[in-house]
Copies of this chain bind each other. A is one copy, B any other.
């Protein structure tokens, strides 16, 4: 591949001038600009950003860590981040932690190896074991979705407790009294807050709230939920705390032959297009993912730009999309779902 020297030689200028033309840093005479540009075009020259970063000490790559890029929740988050990054001239190095804290730390170390300008991390638990590594490297980091226990970093998340309280209110208002919450993993603060929110409104209204931890994997969640529904008392409402749990719930409910919403109401945290397309359409808590991505990106850009203000802690509002899966059981036989 041609280097900046090849271009300089062909254009009959110095490498500094080529650099200045390409980066528009210093003003260059119009005829030299033209000569450089045609040399670039003729050679198909593409600058080496690695070398550029090395010398200029300005990095244009940002590392992103998510628990699982195959999960559409994180896929959508990453897509929105990429959009923001592209606008600002950054590229994204994306890694998955597989919901494993040890792997998360290892992946963070790998990312630091590329000298990113910053990091955006959706931690796999509240501990965020790799935090020390990042702090030692002095690389700005913004946490998204999940909140590390001691947020010494900027954090962008949602108002879990408030929206879960609304779910509790909704379930009670539609006549449900025995609420089962399927939480993936209570080591995640989000999930504890969501449970607390439901309790806030459901218990004072006389409903019972039971919580089971079903794990982060689909197969395991389905199995635990099936077991619980087979052997325990049957609830009249089920609230799943993430999209994997919602799929697990649908499978488990079909397996034990419980009808939604006749036998029990189903509400899921995390929204997806298919959830409103199926019958019955599923009631969901919609998280503002694009907004979360933009906010996280904005904070990171601010930090990269030298902002040293105390950590920002942003909580975005969710929206409860109440659909047929949590309609009152008694009215349902007659109602149309669409």
- Give residues in A with beta carbon < 8 Å to B: 1, 44, 46-51, 53-54, 61, 68-72, 74-76, 78-79, 82, 91-96, 109-110, 112-115, 133, 136-138, 218, 247-248, 250-251, 254-255, 257, 272-274, 276-279, 337-338
Contact = CB atoms under 8 A, between A and B. Distances in A.
Contact of A114 (B50, B74, B274, B279): B50
22 contacts: A44-B137, A46-B137, A50-B50, A50-B53, A51-B54, A61-B114, A69-B79, A70-B76, A71-B72, A71-B75, A72-B75, A78-B94, A82-B95, A91-B93, A92-B95, A247-B273, A247-B277, A250-B277, A251-B276, A254-B279, A254-B337, A274-B278
Contact of A93 (B46, B93, B115, B133): B93
Given A69-B75, A72-B72, A49 B82 contact: no
Contact of A68 (B53, B79, B109, B247): B79
Contacts of A254: 277, 279, 337-338
Nearest to A44: B136
A82 B133 CA distance: 22
Contacts of A1: 115, 137-138
Nearest to A71: B75
Contact of A46 (B74, B76, B78, B109): B109
A92 B94 contact: yes
Most buried by B among A47, A75, A76, A276: A75
A7 to B, nearest CB: 15
A251 B279 contact: no
